[in-house]
């Protein structure tokens, strides 16, 4: 997509101080910039069992928002409010591939499971008067957000950070369909071993080509989807999914599957959109 995205918006979010810590991880390009490095040795967490999402809030005092936060992510997108949203544009340039399969446990922090592409070329997302730099993008299977209760096979998160250490995350649903050649440079280099990080200077990825053609979106005020679940994250979820083939989705799931946090209550929040929903969305 040649990017000057025009999406609709109204001022959405009051970004919480918890983002300051999380964006510090983003600044260094460390695994999952949606996450915060605790000031002490944090416990192990996972997506199932005693260390799973239902218990994240009790595993560490700094993770209490996971259990008692009022603006948590992900959410189910159902009832939406039509709005004039702030204009959004993005200038992404092709960049060399820095890819990691992370289950990062250095310094006592376990950053969960994902395949993540770190980004340091300074590409900029502008929302209204605010600018955010793309830090990294990574994947969840199945999707973390749902639409009227429906999961997509996968979801891509593009994590951006502002100079004021605020976070904006663009979510892109991935459905099963045609082979997507734009993902070939990534999928051809998917790391099978956790902790493996590869910098391929000669392999270029154009983020523009990873995004849907339609610029319609859903926007809401949410949180990190992993511990410590800090609130104040600006979420932009694209209304139109992109496609990967059955084989491409299967290749990812052979490495990682089930790395999605369950949807969280809205607690009175509005989901704003410039998208006119069709039947069943």
Task: State the Cα–Cα distance between residues 56 and 141, nearest whole angstrom.
Answer: 19
Report the DSSP beta bridge partners of residue 157. 138, 171
174-178 contacts, C-beta under 8 A, 24 or more apart = 174/139, 174/143, 174/241, 174/242, 174/243, 174/244, 174/249, 175/241, 175/242, 175/243, 175/244, 176/243, 176/244, 176/245, 176/246, 176/249, 177/243, 177/244, 177/245, 178/243, 178/245
Q: Could you give phi then psi for residue 35, rounded to 5 degrees? A: -110, 165
As a residue count, the chain comes to 281
Task: State the Cα–Cα distance between residues 58 and 135, nearest whole angstrom.
Answer: 29
* Catalytic-labelled residue, pool 5, 101, 113, 275: 113
In degrees, to the nearest 5, what angle opens at C-alpha 12 toward C-alphas 7 and 14?
145
Task: State the Cα–Cα distance between residues 205 and 186, nearest whole angstrom.
Answer: 8
Residue 275 is a catalytic residue = no
- Return the structure tokens found at 224: 């990190």
User: Which residues are catalytically annotated?
Assistant: 113
């Amino acid at each position: 997509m040649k990017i000057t995205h025009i999406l609709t918006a109204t001022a959405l979010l009051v970004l919480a101080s918890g983002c300051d810590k999380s964006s510090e991880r983003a600044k260094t390009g460390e695994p999952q910039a949606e996450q915060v490095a605790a000031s002490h040795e944090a416990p192990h967490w996972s997506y199932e069992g005693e260390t799973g999402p239902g218990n994240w809030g009790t595993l560490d005092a700094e993770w209490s928002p996971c259990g008692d936060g009022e603006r948590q992510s992900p959410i189910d997108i159902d009832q939406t409010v039509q709005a004039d949203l702030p204009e959004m544009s993005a200038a992404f340039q092709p960049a060399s591939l820095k890819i990691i399969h992370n289950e990062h446990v250095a310094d006592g922090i376990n950053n969960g499971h994902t395949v993540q592409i770190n980004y340091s070329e300074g590409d900029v997302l502008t929302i209204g008067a605010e600018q955010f730099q793309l830090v990294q993008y990574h994947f969840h299977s199945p999707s973390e957000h749902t639409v009227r209760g429906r999961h997509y096979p996968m979801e891509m998160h593009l994590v951006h950070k502002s100079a004021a250490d605020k976070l904006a995350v663009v979510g892109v649903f991935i459905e099963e369909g045609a082979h997507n050649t734009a993902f070939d440079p990534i999928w051809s280099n998917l790391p099978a071993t956790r902790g493996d990080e590869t910098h391929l200077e000669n392999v270029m990825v154009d983020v523009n080509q990873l995004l849907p053609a339609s610029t319609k979106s859903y926007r809401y005020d949410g949180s990190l989807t992993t511990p410590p679940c800090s609130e104040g994250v600006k979420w932009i979820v694209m209304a139109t999914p992109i496609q990967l083939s059955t084989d491409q989705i299967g290749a990812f799931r052979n490495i990682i599957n089930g790395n999605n946090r369950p949807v969280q209550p809205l607690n009175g929040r509005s989901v704003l959109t410039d998208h006119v929903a069709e039947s069943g969305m």
